[in-house]
Amino acid sequence: MNLKEFSEILGLSPTTVSRALGGYPEVKEDTRKLVLDAAREHGYRPNRRAASLATGRAMAIGHVIPTALNHEMVNPVFADFIAGAGDVYARAGYDLVLSVVEDGDELRAYRQMASTGSVDGLIVHGPRLDDPRIALLQDMHLPFVVHGRGPEDSHPYSFVDVDNNRAFRRATDLLLDLGHRRIALLNGNETMDFASRRRDGYVSALAGRGLAHDDTLMFSGEMSEQNGHAAALRMLSGADRPTAFLVSSLIMAIGVRRAVTDIGLNVGKDVSIVTHDDMLSYLGNGTDVPIFTATRSSVRAAGRRCAEILLSHITTPDQPPVQEIWESDLVLGASTGPNLPVQTA
Amino acid sequence: MNLKEFSEILGLSPTTVSRALGGYPEVKEDTRKLVLDAAREHGYRPNRRAASLATGRAMAIGHVIPTALNHEMVNPVFADFIAGAGDVYARAGYDLVLSVVEDGDELRAYRQMASTGSVDGLIVHGPRLDDPRIALLQDMHLPFVVHGRGPEDSHPYSFVDVDNNRAFRRATDLLLDLGHRRIALLNGNETMDFASRRRDGYVSALAGRGLAHDDTLMFSGEMSEQNGHAAALRMLSGADRPTAFLVSSLIMAIGVRRAVTDIGLNVGKDVSIVTHDDMLSYLGNGTDVPIFTATRSSVRAAGRRCAEILLSHITTPDQPPVQEIWESDLVLGASTGPNLPVQTA
DNA sequence: CGGGTTGACCAAAGCGATTTGAGGCCTTTT
DNA sequence: AAAAGGCCTCAAATCGCTTTGGTCAACCCG
DSSP secondary structure of B62-115? EEEEEEBTTTTB--THHHHHHHHHHHHHHHHT-EEEEEEEETT-HHHHHHHHHH
- For C19, nearest residue by CA–C1' is A15
Query: Tell me, what's the pLDDT at B69?
Result: 55
Query: Tell me, what's the pLDDT at A31?
Result: 87
Q: In chain A, what residues touch B72 (CB-CB under 8 Å)? A: 281
Give, as ranges, the nucleotides of chain D with any atom within 7 Å of a protein CB. Answer: 7-12, 14-21
Q: Is A154 helix (H, G, I), strand (E, B) or coil?
A: coil
What's the pLDDT band for B342 if we cut at 50, 70, 90? low
* Structure confidence by residue, pLDDT tens digits, B49-67: 999 999 999 999 999 988 7
Query: Tell me, what's the pLDDT at A72?
Result: 57
Question: What's at B338, amino acid-wise?
Answer: P
Give yes or no for CB of A58 within 7 Å of strand D. no
Q: How far is CA A118 from the centre of its chain?
A: 23
Query: Tell me, what's the pLDDT at B341?
Result: 66
Task: Extract the residue ranges of chain A whose pLDDT is less than 70.
Answer: 68-73, 341-345
Query: Tell me, what's the pLDDT at A342?
Result: 52
Query: Which of the 294-313 residues on chain B come under 7 Å of nucleic strand D at their beta carbon?
Result: none
Query: Tell me, what's the pLDDT at B343?
Result: 45
* Structure confidence by residue, pLDDT tens digits, B249-304: 999 999 999 999 999 999 999 999 999 999 998 888 877 889 999 999 999 999 99
Q: Chain A: nearest CA to B64, how far in angstroms?
A: 11
Q: In chain A, what residues touch B100 (CB-CB under 8 Å)? A: 82-83, 86-87, 89-90, 96
Count of CB atoms within 10 A of residue B222's CB?
18
Interface mutation vs chain B, best among A281, A299, A304, most B CBs within 10 Å:
A281
- CA separation for the pair B209, B270 (Å, rounded): 23
Q: In chain B, what residues touch A226 (CB-CB under 8 Å)? A: 284, 286-287
Give yes or no for CB of A221 within 7 Å of strand D. no
Query: Tell me, what's the pLDDT at A283?
Result: 85
Q: Is A249 helix (H, G, I), strand (E, B) or coil?
A: coil
* Structure confidence by residue, pLDDT tens digits, B164-215: 999 999 999 999 999 999 999 999 999 999 999 999 999 999 999 999 999 9
Write the burial class of residue B102 (CB in 10 Å: 0-12 exposed, 13-18 middle, 19+ buried). middle
**Pick from B303, B255, B310: nearest CA to B279:** B303
